[in-house]
Structure 1
């Protein structure tokens, strides 16, 4: 099995009921991962490839997003720990404390529920340096 690291998805949009709560949460957790706010307007805020908007924004077509799982790459285990602590402080709820997971050796992650109930993860894929493009894992 070959897992690709790097850009697979160009961008994601979440349509939320409470933009202020979402902005507070994502500013905290993504700030812990060293990803700043890219910009904002009354109906949206964006961070790199993540765009978060209100239901009444032009792009949303009046519909909230259903529950999703977002996984963010972290540069270290410490970054995962910072993500988790910042998210709890900013209104997130625990959905899995930082720790090793059985997905592959070195998979260290934490999971939070954002204010809309989305499962948000930060993961560090272990101490081994992988190529920016891919890593091969035998199962």
Structure 2
């Protein structure tokens, strides 16, 4: 069965990762997000966030003292060059290679790279190929 249309954007409202070393995670994700053009939304003593991802220490109230188990997160990239840049930046910021940039068999045009972040999470950047988008993102204003 060939996929003709994908709907992305509001399946998950937000995700929280609870990490051992907030400074190491912040260095890693700031490097990754810079090349993917995702701005850091804010920081605090025990957390930082970007878009729908919140990263905190176990001391944060929401974490209730527990670290997150291994997670696979995939970030959308704007092209193959962004996937390549993600992989390079992630490795330079303390990530470990978990799959060099390249085509994957998931569907035609699926180009991705995988790294393991400082807490053992499998982090991916993926470009699904040339496609028409109705919008770059959903803007919510309160």
**What is the rounded CA distance, in whole Å, between the counterparts of 1:73 and 1:87 in structure 2?**
15
Identify which of 4, 19, 35 aligns with 2:38: 35
> 2:86 is paired with a residue of what secondary structure?
helix
Q: C-alpha distance in 2, partners of 1:28/1:7?
A: 25
Query: Partners of 1:76 and 1:6 in 2: how far apart?
Result: 18
Q: Distance in 2 between matches of 1:99 and 1:6?
A: 24
User: Which residue of 2 is the match for residue 135 of structure 1?
Assistant: none
Match of 1:69 in 2: 72
Please report how far the alpha carbon of residue 131 of structure 1 lies from its aligned counterpart in structure 2 after TM superposition: 5.0
Pairing 1:128-139 to 2, within 5 Å after superposition: 128-129=131-132
- The superposition leaves residues 15-73 of structure 1 with CA deviations (integer Å, 9 ceiling, x where unpaired) of 00100010000000111100011100110010111000000111110000000000001
1:96 aligns with 2:99: yes
State the TM-score, normalized to the length of structure 2: 0.88
Question: What's the TM-score once normalised by structure 1's chain length?
Answer: 0.90
Which fold has the larger relative contact order, with Cα–Cα distance below 8 Å and residues 6 or more apart in sequence? 1
Gaps of 5+ in 1: 133-139
Distance across 2 between alignment mates of 1:52 and 1:31: 16
Give the match for residue 139 of structure 2. Answer: none
SS state at 1:14 partner: strand
- Select 1:116's aligned residue among 95, 119, 140: 119
The offset of 1:130, in angstroms, is 5.1
Aligned length: 133
Counterpart of 1:81 in structure 2 is 84
Structure 1 pair 127–3 and aligned structure 2 pair: CA distance change class (3 A): closer
SS in 2 for 1:4: coil
CA distance in 1, matches of 2:40, 2:55: 11
